[in-house]
């Protein structure tokens, strides 16, 4: 399973491979400025994208 976080321009800010079944992930919030980001999780069979708003 892979997670990628991109900014509005499509620039990848963060990416990591996760073990299947992982229920949590810690990301250093200092890498984000205020704005809108997109988190995309891919598990090989499907992809889900969620909008993140950092204030």
What span, in angstroms and rounded, lies between the C-alpha atoms of 38 and 55?
14
Q: Is the pTM of this model over 0.85?
A: no
Q: How far apart are alpha carbons 54 and 35 in whole angstroms?
A: 5
> Looking at residue 27, what is its pLDDT?
86
Residues 6 or more apart from 36 whose CB is under 8 A from it?
A: 7, 8, 51, 52, 53, 54
User: What is the SS3 assignment for 9?
Assistant: coil
Q: How far apart are CA 28 and CA 46, in angstroms?
A: 26
Q: Would you state the pLDDT for residue 48?
A: 95
pLDDT tens for each residue of 2-55: 999 999 999 999 999 988 777 788 888 888 899 999 999 998 889 999 999 998
pLDDT at 28: 86
């Amino acid at each position: 399973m892979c997670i990628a976080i991109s900014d509005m321009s499509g620039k990848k800010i963060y990416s990591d491979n996760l073990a299947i079944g992982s229920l949590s992930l810690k990301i250093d919030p200092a890498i984000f400025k205020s704005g809108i980001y997109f988190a995309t999780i891919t598990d090989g069979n499907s992809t889900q994208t969620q909008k993140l708003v950092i204030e």
